[in-house]
Each structure stands twice: as structure tokens, then as C-alpha cells.
């Protein structure tokens, strides 16, 4: 499968750092796409399809780097763009560029399923494996790091004013990346971050949540950037209580960190909070970014200026 994906990418002309002809949904049609090389822990180099969106005006723009979540094999293969419509519209309206990598093993990006943590449940909803969530997080962080390096070469990007935002496994990756001290990252927002859930077999109960609690505690000890954790009360993967314990373990590290439980998501998809209507999560995000001064002065000035047509 790895070699098949690579052949497809080459046939499409998706050489590293060059435009890649990927089909995007209509709401994302304004995006531009490139492939970024990501050296995996195995030493192999995957080609990561990455789409970016620019607000009106002249750059350089502050940037949100959005890390998507994880799905089953069919969902991973079908992924076209990592950021949701709700998130894209929110950040562009603030004068912020949005960069949305589709990590190796998803969509048209090459590479194997390097984020597989090995969580398994039996028919009674009992966790029957010892997952390796470090493998999941470490693999995803390689994609974040590669994207940040690419950003530093883009004339439209203010690579010193970057906010990381992630959903689910992308939220876990965002927390892990925030602990690495990447240059230019001014903070992050974690939506529903975690791994090892199965809402059908074990609704509201993830596999080995204590492993994640220990990981988050470790990340907390080396995190220096301000951060916001946002989870819905009806998160069908983790439930309401466990995310709060994860954050408490993390927060003991001493970074400027805020945890928010939003109201119940009416359609039952609490885990997908970040892709739902802004009224559910925007007040918390608005308060957070105002507190850390993101976007910086240049981004605020562009947002306040009328757009000429």
C-alpha cells in the first residue's frame, strides 16, 4: 500500500514542495496545495499533502496550523482536507492564514499508518490490548514539525506568530508538539485531544486512559506556551470526567493552561465539537486568543481594515 500511494503521488506530479492537484470540497476550493516531505521514525520519507488558505490582504499573516483527527481505514483514505469548514471560516475571519496538513497514511499523502496505537476492545467494550499512544503522538508530531519548517520558507507566513490547533488525535499531537518548544509557536488550542476511543463498543470510555494521563503529565512539565483545552460534556469517545483528569495532570507542570467543558452538542457528536457551530466553542477560543494577543498586531490591523473590491 505504501508503494502504491507513492506511485500515485508521483503520477500526479506531487513532488516535495511543489503544487499537488488534489480535489478539494467546494467550501475549500480557495485553498492551495503542496506536498511536504516528512521523515518518519523508520527513516522513510512520506509526502504529506498540505493545503493552505489565506485571508484577504497582504501578508505576512499569522498562522493557524490545524491537525486533524483519526478515523477508520475508509475515513482515512477519503480525507481531502484536514481542517473543518467551521474552523476555517473562524480563523480566516480573524485575518489568520490556515495551514492544514493531511498527515502520512491519510488521504493522498503517502506513508503507512504510522499513528496506529493498537487500542482494541472486545464485544463487551473492555479494552483488551496495551496500546502505545506514545507512538501515535510521536508520529503525528513529526508532521507538525515538518510543516513548521516549511512555513519558515513561505513569504506570506509570519512564522513567529503561529497557533497550533488540533482535533482528537490531532489535539493529542498539538499538546505533544506544544511541549517541544518549536520556534514561532505562541500557543495552542486542543479540541477533544486523546486516543484509543471506540464510541460504538465502549462509548465514553477510552482504552488505557491512565497511559494518556501520564503522557499529558510529562508534556506539562516541558510546556512553556499558553494553551486551551476544550471538550464537550458529551464527548462520546472519552466521556466528561477523564479529560478533566488528563488536564489536571498536565496543568501541574505550571504552564498557563485553561480547561473548558462546553455544553452538550445537540446531535450527540460531542467529540466532533470543533467542526460544529461556532457558538459552542468560539467564546472560549475568543477569550483565550485575546488573552495571549493572537493574532499579533499585524493580523489585528488587517482584520480591522476594510477589504477593497
- Residue 211, domain CATH: 3.40.50.1820
Would residue 71 count as lying in a domain? yes
- In angstroms, the CA 257 to CA 226 distance is 6
- pLDDT tens-digit series, residues 34-68: 999 999 988 999 999 999 999 999 999 999 999 99
- In angstroms, the CA 68 to CA 293 distance is 24
Q: Convert 98-121 to b/e letters by CB count within 10 Å (16 or more is b).
A: bbbbbbbbbbbbbbbebbebebeb
Would residue 225 count as lying in a domain? yes
Would residue 161 count as lying in a domain? yes
Q: Give the range among 72-76, 143-147, 202-206, 287-291 with minimum mean pLDDT.
A: 72-76
Task: State the pLDDT at residue 75.
Answer: 75
Task: State the pLDDT at residue 39.
Answer: 94
Structural domain harbouring 48:
2-115+131-304
Would residue 126 count as lying in a domain? no
Task: State the pLDDT at residue 172.
Answer: 98
Burial of 181 (0-12, 13-18, 19+ CB in 10 A): exposed
Would residue 125 count as lying in a domain? no
Task: State the pLDDT at residue 17.
Answer: 58
Asked whether residue 191 carries a pLDDT value surpassing 90, the answer given is: yes
Q: Which helix (H) or strand (E) holds 149?
A: helix 133-151
Average pLDDT rounded to a whole number, residues 153-167: 98
What is the distance between the terminal CA atoms of the chain, rounded to a whole angstrom? Answer: 47
- In angstroms, the CA 57 to CA 302 distance is 7
Phi/psi region, residue 8 (left: phi>0; alpha: psi -120 to 50; beta: rest), is: alpha
Residue pair 97/130 in contact by the 8 Å Cβ criterion: no
- pLDDT tens-digit series, residues 75-109: 787 888 999 999 999 999 999 999 999 999 999 99
* DSSP classification of residue 116: -
Would residue 122 count as lying in a domain? no
How many domains are there within the chain? 1
Would residue 123 count as lying in a domain? no
Residue 135: all three cell numbers together: 507512538
Would residue 121 count as lying in a domain? no
Amino acid at each position: 500500500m505504501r508503494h502504491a500511494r507513492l506511485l500515485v503521488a508521483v503520477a500526479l506530479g506531487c513532488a516535495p514542495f511543489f503544487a499537488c492537484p488534489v480535489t478539494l470540497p467546494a467550501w475549500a476550493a480557495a485553498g492551495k496545495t503542496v506536498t511536504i516531505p516528512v521523515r518518519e521514525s523508520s527513516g522513510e520519507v512520506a509526502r504529506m499533502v498540505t493545503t493552505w488558505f489565506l485571508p484577504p490582504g497582504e501578508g505576512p499573516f499569522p498562522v493557524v496550523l490545524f491537525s486533524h483527527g483519526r478515523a477508520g481505514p475508509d475515513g482515512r483514505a477519503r480525507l481531502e482536507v484536514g481542517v473543518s469548514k467551521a474552523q476555517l471560516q473562524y480563523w480566516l475571519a480573524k485575518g489568520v492564514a490556515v495551514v492544514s496538513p493531511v498527515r502520512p497514511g491519510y488521504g493522498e499523502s503517502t506513508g503507512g499508518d504510522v499513528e496506529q496505537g493498537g487500542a482494541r476492545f472486545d464485544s463487551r467494550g473492555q479494552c483488551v490490548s496495551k496500546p502505545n499512544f506514545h507512538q501515535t503522538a510521536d508520529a503525528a508530531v513529526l508532521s507538525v514539525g515538518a510543516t513548521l519548517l516549511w512555513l519558515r520558507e513561505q513569504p506570506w507566513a509570519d512564522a513567529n506568530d503561529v497557533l497550533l490547533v488540533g482535533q482528537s488525535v490531532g489535539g493529542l499531537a498539538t499538546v505533544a508538539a506544544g511541549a517541544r518548544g518549536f520556534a514561532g509557536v505562541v500557543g495552542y488550542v486542543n479540541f477533544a485531544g486523546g486516543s484509543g476511543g471506540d464510541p460504538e463498543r465502549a462509548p465514553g470510555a477510552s482504552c488505557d486512559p491512565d497511559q494518556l494521563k501520564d503522557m499529558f503529565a510529562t508534556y506539562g512539565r516541558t510546556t512553556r506556551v499558553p494553551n486551551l483545552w476544550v471538550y464537550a460534556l458529551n464527548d462520546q469517545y472519552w466521556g466528561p470526567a477523564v479529560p478533566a483528569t488528563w488536564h489536571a495532570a498536565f496543568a501541574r507542570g505550571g504552564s498557563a493552561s485553561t480547561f473548558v467543558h462546553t455544553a452538550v452538542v445537540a446531535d450527540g457528536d460531542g467529540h466532533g465539537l470543533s467542526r460544529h457551530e461556532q457558538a459552542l466553542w468560539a467564546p472560549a477560543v475568543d477569550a483565550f486568543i485575546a488573552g495571549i494577543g493572537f493574532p499579533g498586531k499585524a493580523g489585528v490591523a488587517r482584520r480591522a481594515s476594510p477589504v477593497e473590491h
